[in-house]
Amino acid sequence: MSRHISKAPQAEDGASAPQFLGTRIRGLRKRRGLTLAELAAQSELTAGYISQLERNLSYPSIPALFNIARSLGVTIQWFFASEAVTAPEDEGYVVRKNSRLSVYYEDGIIDQLLTPQPNRELEMLHSRFPPGTYSQTSYSHEGEEAGYLLSGQFELWVGERHFVLEEGDSFSFSSQQPHRYGNPGEADAIVIWVITPPTF
């Protein structure tokens, strides 16, 4: 788990990431009737760390947000948000580039949802990992996942296995196996990720 205040991620256009994640965490926690201490205990984080997230002073690691989501009874997909409006004729079928829902993590990692909400049996993500960014701890969940490395380099650990992927490589594994990943390269790693069912 990360305990430091991370630098703010940048959107694709270079602007600062929108400050919606902390507000959504706090709002859902209160609707669930949980104190900071109770959510911290359930998600195996500290109350101070969650407080930083809720005040938009820090961005979570991927495993930390996964633990928070699970403790609040939702998937990470619940925290995706966008300021763009989906056209009525696209709703439920098409996601336009400028209306993707996004979630921002520590160290500049960004996930964008490529499948419409509510998803049915799968979700597809566009994930950006800046150089040198890694998930520090492994995590697991229900389902299967696969990915395609669109650009850059990517490291993947699944259970005891370790893989180094180059542009054009793809992968697949059971999400129930502990996994973590990162970008060892000098350029952004862009991964198209598919997860079924959408438990992430």
What does each C-alpha distance from 1 to 68, 74, 136, 139 come to in angstroms?
A: 12, 20, 7, 11
- pLDDT value, residue 12: 54
pLDDT of residue 1: 34
- Is a pLDDT exceeding 50 seen at residue 66? yes
Q: 120: pLDDT confidence band, cut at 50, 70 and 90?
A: confident
10 — pLDDT class (breaks 50, 70, 90): low
Q: Which CATH class is domain 97-196?
A: mainly beta
| pLDDT score of 8 more than 80 | no
Report residue 18's pLDDT band, with 50, 70 and 90 as the boundaries. Answer: low
Same fold, 21-79 and 97-196: no
Q: Give me the mean pLDDT over the 19-39 stretch.
A: 91
pLDDT of residue 5: 34
pLDDT, averaged across the chain: 87
pLDDT of residue 21: 85
Instruction: Write the pLDDT tens digit of every residue in 74-106.
Output: 888 888 877 677 888 998 899 999 889 899 998
Would you say 156 and 165 are in contact if contact means Cβ atoms under 8 Å apart?
yes
Pairing label, strands 170-174, 161-165: unpaired
* pLDDT above 90: residue 191: yes
pLDDT > 90? residue 30: yes
Q: What is the mean pLDDT of residues 42-47?
A: 94
pLDDT of 77 reads 82
45 pLDDT above the threshold of 50 = yes
Query: Which fold does the domain 21-79 belong to in CATH?
Result: 434 Repressor (Amino-terminal Domain) (1.10.260)
pTM for the model stands at 0.80
Mean pLDDT of 111-131: 89
Hey, where are the domains in the chain?
21-79, 97-196
Provide the token pair at 109: 């990692």
100, 112 contact by CB (below 8 A): yes
With 70 as the cut, is the pLDDT of residue 73 above it? yes
- For residue 118, whether the previous peptide bond is cis, meaning omega lies within 30 degrees of 0, is yes
